[in-house]
Chains A and B, each alone.
Chain A
Amino acid sequence: MSMETVATPKVKQVNENQCQQCMPLGGVVVFKGVENAMVLVHGSQGCSTYMRLTNVEHYNEPVDIASSALNEKQAIYGGEANLHKALDNVIRVYGPKVIGIMTTCLAETMGEDLERLVATYRENRGITTVDIIPVATPSYSGTQTEGFWAATRQLVAYYAKPTERHNGINVIIPHISPADIREIKRIFDLFGLTYTMLPDYSMTLDRPYGGRYQKIPPGGTKTQDISRMSGARATIQFGVTCPDNLSPGLLLEQEFGVPLHNLPLPIGLQNMDQLIETLEKLSGRSLPECLERERGWLLDGMADSHKFNADGRPIVYGEPELVYAFSSICVENGAVPVVIASGTKSSRLTGLLVTLLTDADEQPVILEETDFAAIDAAGFLSGANIAIGHSGGKFLTERRGIPVIRVGFPIHDRTGGQRVLSAGYTGTLAFLDRFTNALLETKYESYRELRKEEMGIKEGV
């Protein structure tokens, strides 16, 4: 790969139209995937409200997030009293077994020592039945991606203790849709494996209708299962872009000797094959018949649409793990991305992409820690005609006429963000059809006029 496509000098300071979310938001989602957990954001009232709004718009579920509602006085004198009162009220109204506390930029800038504040709270109130787990998530040090990994790792660090070896498998996921979580669980079930998925918000952030609002919806990873992750036979972590210092799987390997299989998300044929290979080894079973059939349908679909896909010049953007997975789908279907971008800076992503794109005819522009102004400019220069990512890319459509296939988080301008399925052979094919059909829609809308224009054909001539 040539140097100029990899180098991403940050020539400008201003961020114009953000491609990333803030760090505590990632942590909030993780705690929503733990059984009987409630989340408290230690900072200004606005932070928790914004995070609720973003989650509500994406998941279409009530997502309650408490705030310690710090004001000017506490900003100067410290937030201990507010935090303690907030914990009291959360415990009173929600009755949780677990409280995750995400810090904010404000709390971190104030220098709040959460470990100490929680310890004094426990002591003063004599609380023994609620696990209170603070996670440091200042947005000036990371995005929602780091927040998600940091909270997941913190849960493992908090609960995992030396325990007996058992036959279970740990499954650690990045921020994917509830539909994807359910699909991955189905695949593990088909191999007859017992496993603990962390986090698991497939039922808490995507509830079947029940005619009521549950303050803490049932579902989520059980804390006793998290504490047993240390004795598991292996960890499968979908985190090839996860930095070592935030990697829950690495923690389990280093502290408890649980072998780590760090895999790409099973989105795309080759990524999914990689998971299947690992599951075959771990289970001693070969590919179940129904998955074999689903794989066959995917191959058949890839054949049917390969020529249409070859016209695709995609921009892929979003969180590193998803960006890698969707870039893989594009590459294996002959629609090599022209721009691959993330608002997050990842120590791993670019290296992985370089390998993925070794044989590509044309090298994409790779942007990390970037914004939509840069993505748009790069996309325009390289003749992009389709994009894959979250709702932040809406201007690509509005201003450039580039359709956006919505995946990832947040999806706030379409319904069903929680149901977007891209994992597994079935999800991959569902995604591929959306992708191909978007290309076809543009083609059928425009090819008559384009051809006439190209040939200089005028009416009646």
Chain B
Amino acid sequence: MDTSSVTAEGSACISERQNSILTTGKSKSSIHCADDSLAGSVSQRACVFCGARVVLNPVTDAAHLVHGPIGCATYTWDIRGSLSSGSEMYRNSFSTDMKERDVVFGGEKKLATCIDEIVGKYHPPAIFVYSTCVSGMIGDDIIAVCKAASERHATDVIPVESSGFLSGNKVVGYRAAAIALMQLIKPREGETVEKTRKLNFLGEYNLGGEKWVVERYLREIGIEINVAFTGDSTVAALKQAPGACLNLVQCTGSMHWVAMSLEQEFGTPYLDVNFFGAANTAESLRKIAQFYGDAEMIRRTEVLIEREQARIQPILQKYRKKLAGKRAAIYVGGAFKAVAIIRQLKELGMEIVLTGTQTGKKEEYDNLSTLLDPGTIIIDDANPAELEKFLLEKNVDVMAGGVKERVLAYKLGIGFVDHNHDRKDGLAGFDGAVRFAREVYVTTCTPVWSQLKATGRRV
């Protein structure tokens, strides 16, 4: 067996992965992506269940019940840094804790009992029931169990069809969550929700209070948020979703389908926005004000932007001086986040030499290429061996990504910016841009690296 790995610049460690890596300006063909992970390649991806869980988890007053053996629940307990202004119910993790006998004889009865117990103890306004590999494999009919429980308790018990084996791609789980959300918000027969001038904010998870930041801006220009999907949302507020006159879509990977469904069902138009980085924030606010077309609103928006920019630009300039010319790498879950980070790092004068995502689509990668300088490596569904190779080849100073990438960067003596879904610090809006710049600065320019480099490479 050939145990040598290919090591030419820009090449994969496993030849079958070669088409998932391209160099801007050099590669002619487009990237291979949105496919199953290659077995044995140590993908950084998760599973369908994980995708569904992260999207729905921030619904604060819902109970989240995982129908499967214990691990699926343990691993996703309180997994996000989403903040709540009220209920903390969502931070609990309920599991049917399937045992061997449930696998053999079926878990539907236990699931029904668990739902009863949760209703009896907490009376939540809704329960999301997630299917997992095992409950899907043995064919437990969670739809029927949820329907019966809904009727029994006169409450919403919503099935989420998120069996992990359906795909290694979280995006499939986003869809499962989206379907569950649409089921929840669909008005009962004979009921209608009246239209208002408020807007919904889709793909906003209130990490570190980010929804609240945007809410403050919108309020200042004269708009109220109806409900966010799903950061700091409640079941009752989500049911009012049809009443919005506009849907903002931020994290497109998770929410584009919901926006389209809402447009279809309730005729609500949508706008893509992005509140990461000062320029993106300003652009998004202007877009929203334009949509409403109200002169006073447009005026207030400009006032807000001018005031905030005047306040933060001098601070950003200070960081820019320290960071200009430094080389950055990005490896994140979806393309939306990658685009947001690219723009911010560029504003800080940095050079992006490597970008990748776990779940990007072809059009998204095409768009990414246009934002990047020639010679940048773009990689889909990377593994640690590839990331290490390119981090070293490209002489990277700082990387943005999730937890698994962090330890890799640190081992190589490279700075790291956490842009994962359990982060505690809000990075949205003008203040978020400053916080982001500060994080990039402290990790890129820490005195620690020079000391490590002086004593390193001896073990």
Q: Which residues of A contact B (CB under 8 A)?
A: 12-18, 20-25, 40, 43-50, 52-54, 56-57, 60-72, 74-75, 82-83, 85-93, 95, 104-106, 109-110, 125, 127, 138-141, 143, 207-213, 215, 343, 373, 392
Contacts and interface: CB of A to CB of B under 8 A. Distances in A.
Contacts of A87: 40
Nearest to A50: B75
B173 to A, nearest CB: 9
B113 A45 contact: no
Contacts of A392: 77
A68 B39 contact: yes
Nearest to B120: A12
Given A13-B117, A92-B2, A109-B103, A69 B456 contact: no
A72 B408 contact: no
A17 B71 contact: no
Interface of B: 1-3, 5, 13-14, 36-50, 65, 68-71, 73-75, 77, 92-100, 102-103, 110, 113-114, 117-118, 132-134, 137-138, 164-168, 383-385, 388, 403-404, 406-408, 410-413, 452-453, 455-459
30 contacts: A21-B71, A22-B70, A43-B165, A44-B165, A49-B44, A50-B50, A56-B407, A62-B408, A62-B411, A67-B39, A69-B39, A71-B36, A72-B166, A72-B167, A74-B165, A82-B39, A85-B38, A85-B39, A88-B1, A92-B5, A95-B3, A105-B71, A109-B138, A125-B1, A127-B1, A139-B70, A209-B452, A210-B411, A211-B453, A213-B408
A109 B137 contact: yes
Given A18-B77, A46-B46, A86-B39, A25 B71 contact: yes
A64 B384 contact: yes
A62 B98 CA distance: 31
B154 to A, nearest CB: 20
A210 B459 contact: yes
Nearest to A86: B40
Nearest to A110: B137
A89 B40 contact: yes
Contacts of A74: 165
Contact of B134 (A48, A86, A106, A143): A106
A22 B113 contact: no
A106 B165 contact: yes
A212 B413 CA distance: 8
Given A12-B117, A18-B93, A46-B168, A140 B456 contact: no
A232 B100 CA distance: 37
A457 B43 CA distance: 63
B69 A70 contact: no
Contact of B412 (A64, A68, A109, A211): A211
A90 B47 CA distance: 20
A143 B2 contact: no
B165 A72 contact: yes
Given A88-B40, A89-B40, A209-B456, 10 more contacts: A13-B114, A13-B117, A20-B74, A44-B133, A46-B45, A93-B13, A93-B14, A109-B134, A110-B137, A209-B413
Given A56-B407, A211-B452, A44 B164 contact: yes
A141 B45 contact: no
B69 A105 contact: yes
Query: A-side binding surface: helix, strand, loop or mixed?
Result: mixed
A61 to B, nearest CB: 6
B48 to A, nearest CB: 8
Contacts of A75: 133, 137, 165
A423 to B, nearest CB: 24
A343 B97 CA distance: 11
Given A13-B110, A56-B403, A212-B411, A71 B74 contact: no
Nearest to B167: A71
Given A13-B114, A15-B70, A211-B452, A45 B37 contact: yes
Contact of A45 (B47, B73, B403): B47
Contact of B40 (A66, A106, A215): A66
Contacts of B68: 105
Given A17-B93, A21-B74, A213 B388 contact: yes
Contact of B94 (A15, A25, A92): A15
Given A66-B42, A213-B412, A141 B456 contact: no
Top 5 nearest A-B pairs (CB, nearest first) are A46-B47, A22-B71, A86-B40, A45-B168, A89-B40
A141 B100 contact: yes
B43 A69 contact: yes
Nearest to B41: A89
A101 to B, nearest CB: 11
B33 to A, nearest CB: 15
A266 to B, nearest CB: 28
Contact of A92 (B14, B75, B102, B114): B14
Contacts of A209: 411, 413, 452, 455-456, 459
Contact of B73 (A12, A15, A25, A72): A15
Contacts of A92: 1-3, 5, 14
B399 to A, nearest CB: 12
A15 B411 contact: no
A208 B455 CA distance: 11
A178 B457 CA distance: 22
Question: For A74, A95, A109, A141, which residue has the most chain B Cβ atoms within 10 angstroms?
Answer: A109
Contact of A65 (B2, B42, B99, B134): B42
Given A44-B168, A69-B38, A140-B100, A106 B1 contact: no
A47 B71 CA distance: 9
A69 B3 contact: no
B405 to A, nearest CB: 9
B411 A49 contact: no
Given A45-B168, A62-B384, A208-B459, A14 B40 contact: no
Contacts of B113: 13-14
Question: For B385, B388, B456, B459, which residue has the most chain A Cβ atoms within 10 angstroms?
Answer: B459
B459 A89 contact: no
A54 B98 contact: no
Given A14-B118, A16-B92, A22-B69, A93 B407 contact: no
A56 to B, nearest CB: 5
A207 B459 contact: yes
A21 B37 CA distance: 25
Question: For A18, A92, A125, which residue has the most chain B Cβ atoms within 10 angstroms?
Answer: A18
A62 B452 contact: no
Contact of B99 (A18, A140, A343): A140
B77 A17 contact: yes
A62 B407 contact: yes
B117 A104 contact: no
Nearest to A141: B100
B36 A69 contact: yes
A341 B411 CA distance: 37
Contact of A40 (B40, B44, B75, B410): B40
Contacts of A14: 65, 94-97, 113-114, 117-118
A14 B127 CA distance: 13
Nearest to B49: A46
